[in-house]
Amino acid sequence: MKTLTDFAPIEQAVLALAKLDGRLVHSPAAEIWFARARIEGAVTAARSAGIPISAKDLLEWISGRTPPPRHSEGLNDPLSVAALFHLALATTERDKSPVARATLHALRTLLDDRNEAEVWGGEDLVRFGPAWREIGQRASRPFPSPTLAAIAGRMLEMRQSSNIRNGQVPTISSVDGRLFSLPPASASTTWLLGLHLPVMLRSAGLIEHGLPCFTDLPRYLPDDEAVLAIEVARRIARIATANLDALAQMERTLASAETRLAITSRSRAPTLLRLELCYPGITARGAARLLNISPQGATKLLVQVHEALKPPKTTVS
């Protein structure tokens, strides 16, 4: 039988969530945090799906330096990173806040996940798309109470659907009219539920904004609602606490770099500084596309930004 001590993680998670959600309202680094949170959320979901990648792997792909992570390595992954990343970003489209829209537009200017998914993971979109849509519809419905227990109950309810549990096995028509079916997914599809955890947190009224980093779920869900609620709470509390620290660090880095940035009133350097913090290692070509300037101008601005981001030199007396 559960005791009050067992449920302490739930209270900690809700408080940490509320604190992070509130801090983002007035934070000067909110869009930087949001851009990085999208990447971290996708990385967490990928690991849950059995595809171990890092944020650096995604950033290399976003910057145009590499193809999708793991694609050229001959690995037998349950799905492509391109398809998973597209589904992760498409889930955040439901957040209509200005910061969410602006950061998604900037990211898709650097890397159009929709085209990339069609090229590198079209079969995965067919296999997992129906389950993703079904979860999205159920995750967006009102909850009976603003609690993690209600969210845990909804997830266990959704897991009972064979389409969600195993990935739907769709029938496909070929060009000549023949029908064939894709094999079922070979791994747990809990990562699909994880992608929608931020949607559920918002639908339940626990947060005001979409917080895309909260995608961490056990790979295989326990059958008990209370056990699942506590496990989800522990993961949320850990991620929220880490992101509060990360947001504070982003604010300090941004403020320090801005004071060292020598600019004119019409300079695009402050905007590029924020983009560099969102997507470290952004190329001159990508910066030029986002800022609508020449690659030569972007190269000069990047030199300024990189100088401003260097830690200040300490003098020894």
pLDDT digits (tens, 9 = 90+) for 173-190: 444 555 444 444 444 689
Q: In 10 A of CB 2, how many CB atoms?
A: 11
Q: Does the structure show a pLDDT above 70 at 213? A: yes
CB-based burial, 62-79: b 16+ in 10 Å, e otherwise: bbeeeebbbbeeeeebbb
Structural domain total, the chain? 1
CA distance 3 to 214: 26
Residue 143 domain-assigned (yes or no): yes
Residue 190 domain-assigned (yes or no): yes
For residue 183, the model assigns a pLDDT of 46
Beta bridge partners of 180: 172
**Inter-residue contact 87 to 72 (CB < 8 Å):** no
Residue 175, both tokens: 């060009």
pLDDT greater at residue 3 or residue 279: 279
Low-confidence winner among 63-67, 128-132, 243-247, 251-255 (lowest mean pLDDT): 63-67
Residue 270 domain-assigned (yes or no): no
Residue 42 domain-assigned (yes or no): yes
pLDDT greater at residue 197 or residue 261: 197
Residue 138, both tokens: 């159920």
In the structure, what pLDDT confidence band is assigned to residue 311 with cuts at 50, 70 and 90?
A: confident
Q: Which residue has the tokens 């845990």?
A: 152
CA distance 233 to 149: 10
Q: Does the structure show a pLDDT above 50 at 5? A: no
Residue 105 domain-assigned (yes or no): yes
The average confidence (pLDDT) of the chain is 88
SS3 content of the chain, % helix, strand, coil (to 5): 65, 0, 35
Residue 19 domain-assigned (yes or no): no
Distances from the Cα of 119 to the Cα of 68, 101, 114, 187, angstroms? 10, 24, 9, 22
CA distance 196 to 151: 11
pLDDT digits (tens, 9 = 90+) for 254-298: 999 999 987 777 889 999 999 999 999 999 999 999 999 999 999
Outline where 27-170 has alpha helix (H). 30-48, 55-62, 81-92, 98-110, 113-139, 148-159, 162-166
SS3 call for 180: strand
pLDDT digits (tens, 9 = 90+) for 91-143: 999 888 899 999 999 999 999 999 999 999 999 999 899 999 999 999 999 99
Q: Does the structure show a pLDDT above 50 at 172? A: no
Q: Does the structure show a pLDDT above 50 at 224? A: yes
DSSP state string for 55-90: HHHHHHHHTTSSSSTTGGGT---SS-HHHHHHHHHH
CA distance 268 to 32: 16
Q: In 10 A of CB 161, how many CB atoms?
A: 14
- How many Cα atoms sit within 13 Å of 40 on the Cβ side? 18
Residue 277 domain-assigned (yes or no): no
pTM over 0.85: yes
Give the structural domain span for 61.
29-228
In the structure, what pLDDT confidence band is assigned to residue 4 with cuts at 50, 70 and 90?
A: very low
Residue 65 domain-assigned (yes or no): yes
**Inter-residue contact 188 to 164 (CB < 8 Å):** no
CA distance 317 to 57: 42
For residue 138, the model assigns a pLDDT of 95
